[in-house]
Each structure stands twice: as C-alpha cells, then as structure tokens.
Amino acid sequence: MDQLLKNFFLFLSKSRGLNRMAKRYGLALGARRVVAGETIEEAIAKVKELNGQGLVCTLDHLGEFVFSEEEANESADYCIRTLDAIYESGVNSNLSLKMTQLGLDISKDLCMKNMRRILETAKKHGNFVRIDMEDYAHCQVSIDIYKELRKEFDNVGLVIQAYLYRSEQDIQDLNGWNANLRLVKGAYKEPAEVAFPEKKDVDENFKKLIKMHLNNGNYTAVATHDDNIIQFTKDLAEKENIPRNLFEFQMLYGIRTQSQLELVKEGYKMRVYVPYGTDWYGYFMRRLAERPANVAFVLKGMFKK
Ligand code: FDA
C-alpha cells in the first residue's frame, strides 16, 4: 500500500496542471509544515528563528518547471537575491539549488552561465552553494558541471544518492576533487537497472558511502532523518577519530524537529534545509511520497485554517 501511495505522490509531483493550481491556491493542504513561506522575508525570518535554536540552514528557492531561457535566468536571479538577503540579514545559511531550474534542460551552457553568476555572488559574500541531485537522467551531467565549476570555484558542493549503483564509483572519482558532498538516500522513482530497489540495500550503501567519503578526509553532510544512519555516523566518527568539523547532519525543515534539536544539544553541526517560494507543490508531493503516513497531516491542514 505504501509503495502504491509513494508512486501516486511521485506521479502527482510531475503534474503541471496541479502545480499551476497549487500556485494559485497559496501555501495550503499542510504544505506550511514543510515550506518556510512564499517570500524571502518570511524565509529569512524562519532561518533567524532556527539559528536562535542553534541550527544552521540552507535556503532553497523552490521552482519546478522551467521552459525558457527567460525563466531560467529569472530563477538564477532568485538565487542571487536569496544570497544577498542572507548576507544583508546576517543569518547563518548557505544556498541549495536545482540546476534544471537554471536551464539545464534547455542547454548546459545556459545552466553554466547561471551557475557562474550565482557562485560569483556567493563568493563575494563568503558563502557556499550546494547543487541538489535530481533524477538519474541528470546525474552524469550534474557531475560534469560540478567538475567544470570546481576548476573556478571552491564554494560549491554536490549531492550523491545512495540508491544509485554508480554512487560508490562516483565517490571514488570525486575524492580526486576533495568534493564537499551531501549524501542522501535519493528521492526520485528510479528503475532497478540503475537503483537498489530494496530499502535495506540503500541503507547499507548509504553507510558505505559515508564511511568512504569521511575516511578519504572529505567534508560530508549526512542528510537523513533515519536514526540508524545517524547513529552509524556518530559511532564511526567516534571509532575512527573523525573530527566533528569534517561532517554535519542535515534534515528537512519541519521534519523530525525534535531530533534536530537533540543533535545540536549533543554538539553536532545540524543544518536544516529550508525551502521557500510559491512553487511549493512538487517539493511537497515528494515529501508525501517519502512518508505516505504524512497524508494525515495534509488532511488536518485542509480542515485547519
Ligand atoms: P527514510 O525515508 O528511511 O526515513 C527514516 C525515518 O525518517 C522515517 O521512518 C520517518 O520517521 C522519518 N521521515 C523520513 N521522511 C519523512 C517525511 N517526509 N516526513 C516525516 N518523517 C519522515 N534527495 C535527492 O534525491 N536529492 C537531493 O538533493 C536531496 N537533498 C536532500 C537534502 C536534505 C537536507 C535531506 C534531509 C534530504 C534530501 N533528499 C534529497 C531526500 C532524500 O533522498 C530522502 O528522500 C529523504 O531524506 C528521506 O529519506 P531518509 O534518509 O530521511 O530516510
């Protein structure tokens, strides 16, 4: 049943018609629980609040479908505005982005041009930009772009997904670039030809990748809500004397907030991924797909105004 619901929400996440409707309707149906607001002002206020609790953040201006150069450039402008707002407000946050928003599906050159603009701004402000990893179709090109950008910038990081068979090889390869990586399980629906179909295999691979990247001496962001993986990372660091400034934990805004605060209390660096913007629909559907039990809070959201 869970698998059925998961596929259903992933299917819904791709609906352009529903995306348009959602934009018109505004943050609703429980989305406010996992999206920090529609404007940059609301998002910065939330980040300030989280910083006050000892959490650091990464802001993500949500966007899903980009069809023209104009839209891609506009999306990059939003990223730049977000970096400016972080700098001006003095909050502790970096930026996460998706390269399809910056025109990756239109042309690699357009995406590179926008990435350079964004990274220049981040560099000027002494900030860091993380490239989220999207579906498998974008994996190789994302790694290629990352390497090209690393020749010019050191304030950029990437994400590697534990559900992909190729990721072990990618981690080995990216070691040569001292890549600052966020490691995740993977959020998209991928076929068994490219991704482990069983959760237990994804979890095992996740642990293997964390160990590899940390033992190679590279900065690692362990992004998960899974207690088992978090405990594995803590034990590994303890056992192998890995300094706490070589890794951080990351979780999504509004998910397992108590655990986030506990990690801070224990002295770990804990970064919250804070999405904001009017284009919240696809993000929200992917979060529902991860945990269909969350449908309960969507239903509550519909009745609680
Ligand atoms: P898992 O799904 O096994 O969940 C473990 C436990 O966490 C659950 O039992 C539940 O208690 C809790 N939980 C998990 N999801 C929940 C939810 N939505 N609501 C409530 N509770 C929940 N993916 C990707 O493909 N590319 C990317 O760039 C990123 N970036 C990213 C950044 C950050 C900061 C995070 C935390 C995650 C991502 N992801 C991602 C998503 C990631 O791939 C994965 O889909 C989710 O993190 C869910 O997997 P978990 O590791 O949390 O474990």
Residue nearest atom 13 in ligand 1 by C-alpha distance: 225
- How far apart CA 163 and CA 69 sit, in angstroms, is 32
pLDDT of residue 63: 83
- Whether the CA torsion 24, 301, 284, 80 is positive or negative: it is positive
- How far apart CA 192 and CA 189 sit, in angstroms, is 10
Q: Catalytic: 117?
A: no
**Which residues, 6+ apart, have CB-to-CB distance to 203 below 8 Å?**
162, 185, 226, 228, 229
Which of the 8 DSSP states describes residue 279?
-
Tokens 């996992």 map to which residue? Answer: 34
- Nearest to 214, CA basis, from 251, 244, 256, 190: 244
Sites in the chain below the pLDDT cut of 50: 301-305
Residue nearest atom 3 in ligand 1 by C-alpha distance: 226
Element spanning 20, H or E: helix 16-25
pLDDT of residue 18: 66
Ligand 1 atom closest to 271 (CA): 34
Residue nearest atom 26 in ligand 1 by C-alpha distance: 133
- How far apart CA 227 and CA 236 sit, in angstroms, is 14
- How far apart CA 212 and CA 214 sit, in angstroms, is 6
Beta bridge partners of 59: 95, 274
What's the predicted TM-score (pTM) here? Answer: 0.91
Separation of CA 290 and ligand 1 centre (Å): 7
Catalytic choice (130, 150, 182, 287): 182
Element spanning 36, H or E: none
Please give the structure tokens belonging to residue 51.
């910083």
pLDDT of residue 277: 92
pLDDT of residue 212: 98
Q: How many degrees, rounded to 5, is the angle at CA 170 between CA 164 and CA 173?
A: 170
- Nearest to 30, CA basis, from 266, 193, 254: 254
Q: How many degrees, rounded to 5, is the angle at CA 93 between CA 176 and CA 145?
A: 35
Residue nearest atom 2 in ligand 1 by C-alpha distance: 290
The domain defined by 36-279 folds into TIM Barrel (3.20.20)
Q: Catalytic: 132?
A: yes
**What residue ranges do the domains of the chain occupy?**
1-34+285-305, 36-279
pLDDT of residue 7: 76
Ligand 1: list residues with CB < 6 Å. 132-133, 159, 161, 184-188, 223-226, 250-252, 255-256, 273, 287, 290-291, 294
